[in-house]
Structure 1
Amino acid sequence: MYSNKLSVQLLGEVLYRYDITDIIISPGSRNAPLTIHFTNHKEYTCYSIVDERSAAFFALGMAQSKKKPVVICCTSGTASANYYPAIIEAFYQNVPLLVLTADRPENYVDIFDGQTIRQKNIYSNHIYGSFQLSESENEESITQNFLDLKKALHTCILKSGPVHINIPFSEPLYKQTEKIEIIIDKLALPYKSYNSDLYSPLLPTWNHYSKKMILVGMQQPNSKLTHLLERLADREDTIILTEITSNLNSSKFYPTIDRYMFPFGEDKMEEYKPDLLLTIGQNIVSKKIKDFLRKSNLQAHWHLDEFWHPDTYFSLTEKIEENPVIFLKKLVKISPKTSTYSLLWKQLKNEREQRHHEFVAHLPFSDLWVIKTLDKKIPDSYNLQLSNSSMIRYAQLFNFNSKNKIFCNRGASGIDGSTSTAVGFAVADHHPTVLITGDIGFFYDSNALWNKYIPHTFRIILINNGGGDIFKIIPGPDTSNALDEFFVTHHDRTAQLLAKEYNFEYLQAHNQEELVKHLESFFNSSHRPKLLEINTAGQPNSNLLREYFNYLNQE
Structure 2
Amino acid sequence: MVNVLSGPVQELLMVLIQNKNGKRLRPKVVSSYFSQNKTMNNTTWGSLIIEELTRLGTYHFCIAPGSRSTPLVAAIARHPKAQAHIFIDERSAAFFALGLSKYNNVPAVMVTTSGSAMTHAYPAVIEAEAHNIPLLLLSADRPPELRNTGANQTIDQNQLFGNHVQFFVDLPCPNSHFSAHNLVSLIDHAVSRTQNGPVHINCMFRKPLDPQPTKLPNLWYDDGPYSRLVTIQPQTDWNVPAHKRAILVIGMLKNQTDQEHALLIAQKAQCPIFCDAASGIRLNNIPNTLYPIDTIVQFDTQRPMFTPDIIVHLGGTFVSKQLPKWLAKQKCPIIQISPVQKRTQRGSHTQILASIPQDIGTLTHPLHVHSLQTLIEERIENACLKDFNEPSIIRACTKSLPAHTSLFVSNSMPVRDINRFARTHHEWIRIGINRGASGIDGIVATAAGWTHASKNPAVLLIGDIASIHDIGSLLQLSTRKIPLLVCIINNGGGGIFSFLPIAQEEDIFEDYFATAHKTTIALITRAMGIPSFCIENHPDFQHALSRFHKNPRFSVLEIHTNRSDNHRVHQQLNHAITQTLSTFAGST
Q: Do Structure 1 and Structure 2 share a fold, with TM-score over 0.5?
A: yes
Q: 2:402 aligns with which of 358, 362, 379?
A: 379
Q: How does 1:337-486 map to 2 (within 5 A)?
A: 341-343=365-367, 348-362=372-386, 364-396=387-419, 397-400=421-424, 401-451=426-476, 454-455=480-481, 457-479=483-505, 481-486=507-512
Would the alpha carbon gap of residues 20 and 446 (structure 1) be closer, same or farther in structure 2, given more than 3 Å must change?
A: same
Would the alpha carbon gap of residues 484 and 550 (structure 1) be closer, same or farther in structure 2, given more than 3 Å must change?
A: same
How far has the Cα of 1:46 moved from its partner?
A: 1.1
1:488 paired residue number:
514
2:260 paired residue number:
223
How far has the Cα of 1:18 moved from its partner?
A: 0.9
Q: 1:301 aligns with which of 320, 334, 338?
A: 334
Would the alpha carbon gap of residues 473 and 12 (structure 1) be closer, same or farther in structure 2, given more than 3 Å must change?
A: same
User: Is the 8 Å Cα contact of residues 133 and 197 (structure 2) preserved in structure 1?
Assistant: yes
User: Is the 8 Å Cα contact of residues 3 and 9 (structure 1) preserved in structure 2?
Assistant: no
Would the alpha carbon gap of residues 267 and 27 (structure 1) be closer, same or farther in structure 2, given more than 3 Å must change?
A: closer
2:555 paired residue number:
530
Please, which moves more after superposition, 544-553 or 513-522? Answer: 513-522
Q: How does 1:158-169 map to 2 (within 5 A)?
A: 159-169=195-205
How far has the Cα of 1:444 moved from its partner?
A: 0.6
Q: 1:171 aligns with which of 207, 223, 228?
A: 207
Would the alpha carbon gap of residues 538 and 284 (structure 1) be closer, same or farther in structure 2, given more than 3 Å must change?
A: closer
Distance 2:307 2:145 in 1: 59
SS of the aligned residue for 1:448 comes to helix
2:37 paired residue number:
none
Distance 2:55 2:563 in 1: 56
2:24 paired residue number:
none
Would the alpha carbon gap of residues 456 and 43 (structure 1) be closer, same or farther in structure 2, given more than 3 Å must change?
A: closer
Q: How does 1:27-426 map to 2 (within 5 A)?
A: 27-140=65-178, 142-156=180-194, 159-181=195-217, 183-186=219-222, 187=225, 189-194=228-233, 206-207=240-241, 209-219=243-253, 220-221=255-256, 222-231=259-268, 233-234=269-270, 238-248=271-281, 249-254=284-289, 256-258=291-293, 260-264=295-299, 268-269=303-304, 271-296=305-330, 298-311=331-344, 314-315=346-347, 317-325=349-357, 329=359, 331-332=360-361, 341-343=365-367, 348-362=372-386, 364-396=387-419, 397-400=421-424, 401-426=426-451
SS of the aligned residue for 2:166 comes to coil
User: Is the 8 Å Cα contact of residues 534 and 557 (structure 2) preserved in structure 1?
Assistant: yes
Would the alpha carbon gap of residues 316 and 5 (structure 1) be closer, same or farther in structure 2, given more than 3 Å must change?
A: farther
Would the alpha carbon gap of residues 122 and 448 (structure 1) be closer, same or farther in structure 2, given more than 3 Å must change?
A: same
Would the alpha carbon gap of residues 14 and 102 (structure 1) be closer, same or farther in structure 2, given more than 3 Å must change?
A: same
User: Is the 8 Å Cα contact of residues 113 and 141 (structure 2) preserved in structure 1?
Assistant: yes
Which stretches in structure 2 are left out of the alignment for 5+ residues? Answer: 1-39, 583-588
- Normalised by the length of structure 1, the TM-score is 0.87
SS of the aligned residue for 2:157 comes to coil
Deviations 1:368-388 (A, max 9, x none): 222222232233353211111
Distance 1:191 1:257 in 2: 41
Which stretches in structure 1 are left out of the alignment for 5+ residues? Answer: none
Deviations 1:296-340 (A, max 9, x none): 3x44333212223341x5337323121211xx53x32xxx68x7x
Runs of 4+ in 1 over 6 A off after TM superposition: none
User: Is the 8 Å Cα contact of residues 50 and 76 (structure 2) preserved in structure 1?
Assistant: yes
- Normalised by the length of structure 2, the TM-score is 0.82
Distance 2:280 2:242 in 1: 30
1:543 paired residue number:
568
Would the alpha carbon gap of residues 552 and 491 (structure 1) be closer, same or farther in structure 2, given more than 3 Å must change?
A: same
2:35 paired residue number:
none
Would the alpha carbon gap of residues 486 and 276 (structure 1) be closer, same or farther in structure 2, given more than 3 Å must change?
A: same
Distance 2:327 2:458 in 1: 35
Would the alpha carbon gap of residues 177 and 108 (structure 1) be closer, same or farther in structure 2, given more than 3 Å must change?
A: same
Would the alpha carbon gap of residues 399 and 520 (structure 1) be closer, same or farther in structure 2, given more than 3 Å must change?
A: closer
User: Is the 8 Å Cα contact of residues 49 and 451 (structure 1) preserved in structure 2?
Assistant: yes
**Amino acid paired to 2:233:** Y
**Percent identity (aligned):** 26
SS of the aligned residue for 2:106 comes to coil
Deviations 1:52-73 (A, max 9, x none): 1111111112223333221110
Would the alpha carbon gap of residues 148 and 522 (structure 1) be closer, same or farther in structure 2, given more than 3 Å must change?
A: closer
Please, which moves more after superposition, 419-428 or 179-188? Answer: 179-188
SS of the aligned residue for 1:324 comes to coil
Distance 1:502 1:88 in 2: 30
Distance 1:479 1:316 in 2: 42
